[in-house]
Amino acid sequence: MIMAEHKPQPLLTAGVKRSFGRTTFYTVLYLSLTFASVTVMRALHASGALAIALALVPAIASIGLVHAYLLGLRELDEFQRRLQYEAMLIAAAVTAFASVAYGFLEMLAGFPHVSAFYAILVMVGAFSLAVVFLNLRHPL
């Protein structure tokens, strides 16, 4: 699955550092826009189209975040890129399974309602754990 022979390159190349910078920028922007849109929504008691527009404002930063991560992936060496890809696949599978499994528990076993908001938290958490696990499994 992962290449058996790998000649390690310095992990923090200029491109990777640049990518960290971009990712951090968009993460901060995303959080700031989310906070700002909640504040504006509450202050204006927004409803209808305005509320939808305000809720979608943070999406601008999320597009930037995905794009920055994509550019960052291209800066990584082949081995690290494959680790990231596999972690992504694991995170997607965990999120898909967890959402279906919890959906059943909610419907049949009377578990408390969980908002779809948690999907992103599960995805990010599973991705982080998968990156750590794969790096431990395939040390440089």
Partner 1 sequence: MAVELWPPSKSASANRFAREAWVAIGLYFGLLGAGAFVWWRFDLRQWGIALIAFATAAYALLMLRALTRLFSSLDEMQRRMQYEALLITAGVVGFGSFAYSFLELVGVVPALPHELFFILPIMILVWRVAFMFVARRYK
Instruction: Write out the residues near partner 1 by the rule CB under 8 A.
Output: 1, 34, 37-38, 41, 46-48, 51-52, 55-56, 58-59, 62-63, 65-66, 69-70, 73, 85-86, 88-97, 99-111, 114-117, 119-120, 123-124, 127
User: Minimum distance between the CB of residue 4 and partner 1, rounded to whole angstroms?
Assistant: 12
Distance between CA 32 and CA 36 in Å, rounded?
6
Contact 72, 124 (CB under 8 A): no
Cβ neighbours around 55 below 10 Å, total: 14
Owner of token pair 């696949």: 89
Q: Whose Cβ is closer to partner 1: residue 38's or residue 132's?
A: 38
Q: Whose Cβ is closer to partner 1: residue 12's or residue 108's?
A: 108
